[in-house]
């Protein structure tokens, strides 16, 4: 996979003008829309649910890259599928006893399944499900709030993830990185093996959104 995918996080958008802000990133060349779903339990923040995903689906044809930072995500998979998600990513830490089943459930619905790991979670936990996923999301900040700084120690995990995929000859699995992504850290993440980048404040706070997106490619 040579093409870099930019997936702006709407967590940094103006929710009073969400359609406008989604159209902005679409026009500026974004590839996916990243939707951060937080429940106030798995992570300390509370954001949005399936109704907002459904509303976003109505205003864009871009793939919806939905990141479930929630406990017991299996309870809500169908809701987010029905809302129009194209990719659903769950956390390994929230599915330690049933991760493979959750991923297979997502795939049964005909959409892509992803797994995310927090900065302190080792890459080796992914090996048991490596053939059941379409995307691995490496968090380079502690999940829960936007605007944090990139944790450079996580670059090793991106490289380890790339090595693991190569070991299993899996060339179609996306390595996505989320947290503190900007023009400088994007270069490091891509060099380590990432092909998909999530950015929120860097894109939405930029004076020129198109230039910000292009700087990540």
- Of 134, 171, 174, 153, which Cα lies nearest the Cα of 7? 174
User: Is position 178 annotated as part of the catalytic site?
Assistant: yes
Catalytic residue among 21, 65, 134, 178: 178
Residues in the chain: 217
What b/e readout covers 131-147, taking b as 16+ CB neighbours within 10 angstroms? Answer: ebbbbbbbbbbebbebe
User: Is position 163 annotated as part of the catalytic site?
Assistant: no
Rounded Cα distance between 199 and 168, Å, is 29
What b/e readout covers 60-74, taking b as 16+ CB neighbours within 10 angstroms? Answer: bebbbbbbbbbeebb
User: What does the H/E/C string look like for 57-75?
Assistant: HHHCCCCEEEEEECCCHHH
CB 119 within 8 A of CB 144: no
Place of tokens 């017991």: 72
Instruction: Tell me the CA end-to-end span of the chain in Å, nearest whole number.
Output: 13
Catalytic residue among 36, 39, 65, 134: 36
Range list of H helices, 8-98? 18-27, 50-59, 77-82
- List active site positions: 36, 178
């Amino acid at each position: 996979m040579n093409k870099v995918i930019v997936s702006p996080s709407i967590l940094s958008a103006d929710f009073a003008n969400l359609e406008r802000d989604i159209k902005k990133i679409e026009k500026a060349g974004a590839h996916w829309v990243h939707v951060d779903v937080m429940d106030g339990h798995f992570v300390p923040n509370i954001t949005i649910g399936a109704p907002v995903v459904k509303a976003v689906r109505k205003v864009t044809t871009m793939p919806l890259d939905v990141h479930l930072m929630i406990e017991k995500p299996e309870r809500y998979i169908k809701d987010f599928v029905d809302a129009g998600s194209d990719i659903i990513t769950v956390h390994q830490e929230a599915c330690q006893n049933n991760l493979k089943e959750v991923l297979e459930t997502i795939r049964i619905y005909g959409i892509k399944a992803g797994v995310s790991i927090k900065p302190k979670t080792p890459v080796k936990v992914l090996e048991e499900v490596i053939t059941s996923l379409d995307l691995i999301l490496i968090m380079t900040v502690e999940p829960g709030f936007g605007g944090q700084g990139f944790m450079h120690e996580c670059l090793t995990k991106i490289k380890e993830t790339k090595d693991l995929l190569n070991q299993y000859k899996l060339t179609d699995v996306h390595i996505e990185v989320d947290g503190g992504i900007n023009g400088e850290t994007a270069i490091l993440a891509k060099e380590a093996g990432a092909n998909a980048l999530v950015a929120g404040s860097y894109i939405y706070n930029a004076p020129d959104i198109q230039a910000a997106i292009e700087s990540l490619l």
